[in-house]
Structure 1
Amino acid sequence: MEIPAGLGRVLVIIPTYNERDNIERIAGRVREAVPSVDVLVVDDASPDGTGEAADAMAAADEQIKVLHRQGKEGLGPAYIAGFRWAAEHGYDVMVEMDADGSHQPEELPRLLAALEDADLVIGARWVPGGRVRNWPKRREALSRGANTYARVMLGIPLHDSTGGYRAFRAATLEKIGLEGVDSRGYCFQIDLALRALRQGLRVVEVPITFVERVHGTSKMSRDVMAEAALRITQWGMSDRIGKIRGPG
């Protein structure tokens, strides 16, 4: 598939921490699905050798790049580092994608096609046509509940604001600003979507099939979930207080 006319240069950003068993496979699938995109692996000093594996891929394929960071700081800072690297190197579109295979590179063409008429496209599980494979019922209920809470608390129209498979125009990230973003875990995704909506930008959800990882361990933790719940509550209450007080 060719990149839709008008989108320009596309970079797929893949943060990694201990993903040696997955990174070669997922990068290869990206390159096969959309050969004209570039891939940036953002590695947080993985002790399992993920960074070295990424360097070997980059040496063999000039469309694969690697950004090494000093240590594990969380999903949000890794993506922000990737976004800034992309901006410095003149990319027009930045795609977020997990390294573990849960996001299907073969669905990337649909996200890019939707971006022609949008500022941000989110690959969504909880919309008609979206689905999840190999998740226990408890985890599905947790994700659905978190997204419902975010939708109600924040007053946003999105059904999968926590979804991490998404495509931004560079101009979108520039407009929403990254300087004040300090979310570290999965609430980073809600944060950016909320900022885009508040700027009046067009955010579109495209159904995807999310597949639970086969190799490695999930980065989800109690701390990550607690941060998301706390921040959603803070943002929602701040909005409500602001409306009560009114302008000025």
Structure 2
Amino acid sequence: MNNSLVIVPTYNEAENIVNIINHILSLSVQFDILIVDDNSPDGTSKLVNGFIKKQQNKVFIISRLKKEGLGKAYKEGFNWALNHNYKYVFEMDADFSHDPEDLVKIYDNLEKYDVVVGSRYINGINVVNWPLSRIILSYSASLYSRIITGMPVKDATSGFVGYRSEVLRSIDVESLVFNGYAFQIELKFKSFKNKFKILEIPIIFKDRLYGDSKMNSSIIFEAVFGLISMRLKSLFKL
């Protein structure tokens, strides 16, 4: 086993999963890969299991019984990573919106920082092929999260992040309550509250070429109203 694990949640990513695994395995830094699949009806897990037969010590899978959301997928993945004593744990999408080459940049910075965020907004707005409405929504969500939480992270909703394992152990991942994109904000906020060093590095985010976006109204609702509740609880230690 390597000391670094990339966790990739999947639901109907058969069009992307083979290429994303191959790309990660080809990088100059060695990463293990954990796929957390929500019982994808398109056969994503079958393709991953084919890799496991060839790469038994590099590619792993958690096959869940039903679609339960991003937050629960990452919680299972984090617990798996901690139980297997990985030093560095990474979050990444399966659809190539995150460039696998940037994993190496995130990895390199984890020697000096506890949390390294692949940021779309640290140097302006670096998003490709998104409609203006979605750019405004995403950027506004990050601005809103900074105002509500007081956290100096420009891309709080980013799902391309590297964590030192001690960060995840200190947070107690089972205590995380959100399940959509607010989960990403909550995780960074708890890291910030626990005095861990957070660095943002610039990335270029590209909209997926294949498959469908997982964004929906319930995710937006959770982010808007859940953050207020999270902030109040932190202020009054509820």
**TM range, normalised to the smaller chain?**
over 0.9
Q: Runs ≥4 in structure 1, deviation > 2 angstroms?
A: 235-240
Q: State the match for 2:127 in structure 1.
A: 132
Q: Partner letter of residue 59 of structure 1?
A: K
What is the aligned-residue identity percentage?
37
- 2:173 matched to 1:163? no
| Gap runs ≥5 in structure 2 | none
CA RMSD of aligned residues (A): 1.5
User: What is the Cα deviation at residue 130 of structure 1?
Assistant: 6.0
CA distance in 2, matches of 1:34, 1:70: 35
Matches within 5 A, 1:35-46: 36-46=30-40
In structure 1, the partner of 2:97 is: 102
Q: 1:27 aligns with which of 15, 21, 31?
A: 21
CA distance in 1, matches of 2:15, 2:176: 31
Please name the residue that 1:153 is paired with.
148
CA drift of 1:34 comes to 3.8
* Contact 1:95/1:166 (8 A) holds in 2: yes
Unaligned ranges ≥5, structure 1: 1-7
Q: Alpha carbons of 1:32 and 1:172: their partners in 2 closer, same or farther (altered >3 Å)?
A: same
SS at match of 2:215: coil
Q: Which residue of 2 aligns with 1:89?
A: 84
Counterpart position of 1:9: 3
After the TM superposition, which of the residue ranges 124-133 and 147-156 deviates more from structure 2?
124-133
* Cα-to-partner distance string for 1:60-97 (whole Å, 9 max, x where unaligned): 22211111111110000001101111111121111000
Residue from 12, 15, 28 that aligns with 1:18: 12
Aligned amino acid, residue 192 of structure 1: L
CA distance in 2, matches of 1:167, 1:226: 26
Query: Is the contact between residue 109 and residue 116 of structure 2 (CA under 8 Å) also seen in structure 1?
Result: yes
Q: How many angstroms does 1:179 deviate by?
A: 2.2
How far residue 236 of structure 1 moved from its aligned partner, in angstroms, is 3.1
TM-score in terms of structure 1 length: 0.91
2:117–2:162 contact (8 Å) kept in structure 1: yes
Partners of 2:160 and 2:191 in 1: how far apart?
A: 16
Q: Does residue 65 in structure 1 map to residue 60 in structure 2?
A: yes
Q: Where does residue 190 of structure 1 map in the other structure?
A: 185
1:228-247 superposed matches below 5 A = 228-239=223-234, 242=236
Name the CA distance, whole Å, in 2 between partners of 1:69 and 1:217.
Answer: 20
- Are the counterparts in 2 of residues 125 and 207 from structure 1 also a CA contact under 8 Å? yes
CA shift digits 1:203-230 (9 cap, x unpaired): 1111111110000000010111111111
* Equivalent-residue separation in structure 2 for 1:37 and 1:129 (angstroms): 30
